[in-house]
Amino acid sequence: MERNPEGENLEYGALEEVFEVPIGPIHPALKEPIRFTFQVRGERIVDVQIRTGFAHRGIEFMGMRQGRNLIQILYLSERICGICSVSHPIAFTQAVERAAGIEVPPRAQYIRVIISELERIHSHLLWAGVAAHELGFDTLLHLTWRVREKVLDILEELTGNRINYAIPIFGGVRRDITPEQYPRVWEAIRYYRGLLEELLDAFLRDPTVEARTRGVGILEPKEAEELCAVGPTARASGLRKDVRQDRPYLAYSDFEVKAITPADYGLTPVGDVYDKIVVRLLEVGQSLDIIEKALENMPEGEITSFPKIPALLAHLKKAEGEGLGWHEAPRGEVIHYVRLVSGEESPLIWKVKAPTYSNLLSWYPMFEDQEVADIPIIAACIDPCICCMDRVYIVRNGKEETWTKEELLRLSWEKTRRMRR
């Protein structure tokens, strides 16, 4: 901390002076590197600056520029995020399928839905545990993470992996759900149905959790709308915003997904951390509903329209066009944009927009006039995924650079001109 010049009298003066408290890039409250610089008076936050870019790995660049074909890139997209490891491939495959005009058989769509809803359950439980840990309530952390094991086991049973499932492929999915696997999935659903009430009870009716989360990190509905918050962050503020409901894709129109807000739990949405817990826990129940319906109505038939990989690759190489894919990841809307050029194996453009990128700005109103003690839980409450979000970071000659909107616009015009030539 850089002390103010007059701030020498620590015992008393410190409570009056504005201190700079740096949190991150490495700090126990943060699971991934990002830097907050707080201006703090006593225990109150006066101002905050957020700096990102510590986890940028250049995944899009690797996909576009290094001669990888689309199937290789598919596995790369899975590794954008460890938790949303089916959300990114689902958005990416949809983008490519739209660009190349590939149909996905209904059964494959259902399997994609099931896997992505299982992922939502595991992601939300993971978040709930992290939130409890940030509040200093490690018992809840251990209990939620223990019950999370069940869904990871099911994912391993269905896909062969706890994370990085490698399930979607262009035109379908890589593995079917076999008849022997159904009872195990049903059993897991029953397990979580029985647990959900307990989880709601442990989190929402605990006096200390309530004391630490009620009225903390409030995001007003208006702010959520103006700052384009997505996912549970927006829904906790009462916005009925969910890509599965607003622009249904895959088989989601069959399940009539309704965006969940705290109002569904009989609460008036405030947009604080408590509401974010409510929304995420209720969404676990919603995912269970969707999986149940999907299992009951699973259509028969093929699981991919391109059983042979060389045929798929040949088709993709010929394809020309652009496509957008979207998906409601556990953290909110994820978008992949792809532009394919005929005769090229790699896409000309691959652009990813992760949910955390949209939610980043909602941190500013949330941190306003909160206490130092609230920093960890507010930082955690949007369920930030920094490695998803860090898409660009410019360092030239050892110096970091920031580009303004105008400069970026100028660059994109120049690029368009180059491409037309």
Partner 1 sequence: MSGWAIFGQAVVVLVGGGLVGLFYRGVDRKIAARMQARIGPPLRQPFLDLGKLLVKETVIPKTAVAWLFSAMPFLAVLASFTALLYLPLGPFGPVLEGHGDAILVLYLLAIPALAMALGGFASGSPLGVVGAQRELVMLMSYEFPLAVVLVAVAWRLSELGLAPAFSLGTMAQNPLWGAVGPLGIIGLALLLVSLLVVTPAELAKIPFDIPEAETEIAGGLMVEYSGTYLALFYLADAVRTVVMAGLVVALFIPYGLAGRLGLSGAVGDVVDLAFWLFKVLLVMVVAVTTVRVGMARLKVDQIARGFWLRITAVALSGLLLLVLDKVVMG
Where does this chain bind partner 1 (CB under 8 A)? 1, 10-11, 14-15, 19-22, 27-29, 43, 132-140, 142-143, 146, 206, 208-209, 211-212, 371-376
Asked if residues 388 and 354 have their Cβ atoms less than 8 Å apart, the reply is yes
For the bound state, the minimum distance from the C-beta of residue 38 to partner 1, rounded and expressed in Å, comes to: 10
Q: How far is CA 175 from CA 99, 171, 190, 293, in A?
A: 24, 12, 24, 20
In whole angstroms, what is the distance from residue 313 CA to residue 223 CA?
Answer: 45
For the bound state, the minimum distance from the C-beta of residue 385 to partner 1, rounded and expressed in Å, comes to: 18
For the bound state, the minimum distance from the C-beta of residue 365 to partner 1, rounded and expressed in Å, comes to: 20
Q: Which is nearer to partner 1, 11 or 180 (CB)?
A: 11
Asked if residues 111 and 167 have their Cβ atoms less than 8 Å apart, the reply is yes
Q: Which two tokens stand for residue 391?
A: 């898409």
For the bound state, the minimum distance from the C-beta of residue 395 to partner 1, rounded and expressed in Å, comes to: 27
For the bound state, the minimum distance from the C-beta of residue 203 to partner 1, rounded and expressed in Å, comes to: 10
- Reported as type and span, the H/E element at residue 117 is helix 106-134
Q: Which is nearer to partner 1, 38 or 252 (CB)?
A: 38
Q: Which is nearer to partner 1, 99 or 140 (CB)?
A: 140
Burial 271-281, CB ≥16 within 10 A → b, else e = bbbbbbbbbbb
For the bound state, the minimum distance from the C-beta of residue 25 to partner 1, rounded and expressed in Å, comes to: 13
In whole angstroms, what is the distance from residue 76 CA to residue 318 CA?
Answer: 22
β partners of residue 371 = 44
Q: Which is nearer to partner 1, 99 or 380 (CB)?
A: 380
Q: Which is nearer to partner 1, 85 or 144 (CB)?
A: 144
Q: Which is nearer to partner 1, 296 or 369 (CB)?
A: 369
Q: Which is nearer to partner 1, 10 or 309 (CB)?
A: 10
Dump the DSSP string for 198-234: HHHHHHHT-HHHHHHHTTSS---HHHHHHTT--HHHH
Q: Which is nearer to partner 1, 26 or 411 (CB)?
A: 26
In whole angstroms, what is the distance from residue 35 CA to residue 23 CA?
Answer: 6
DSSP-derived 3-state class of residue 187: helix
Dump the DSSP string for 314-373: HHHHH--EEEEEEEEETTEEEEEEEEE-TT-SS-SEEEEE-HHHHHGGGHHHHHTT-BGG
For the bound state, the minimum distance from the C-beta of residue 11 to partner 1, rounded and expressed in Å, comes to: 7
Burial 103-130, CB ≥16 within 10 A → b, else e = ebbbbbbbbbbbbbbbbbbbbbbbbbbb
For the bound state, the minimum distance from the C-beta of residue 347 to partner 1, rounded and expressed in Å, comes to: 41
- Reported as type and span, the H/E element at residue 403 is none
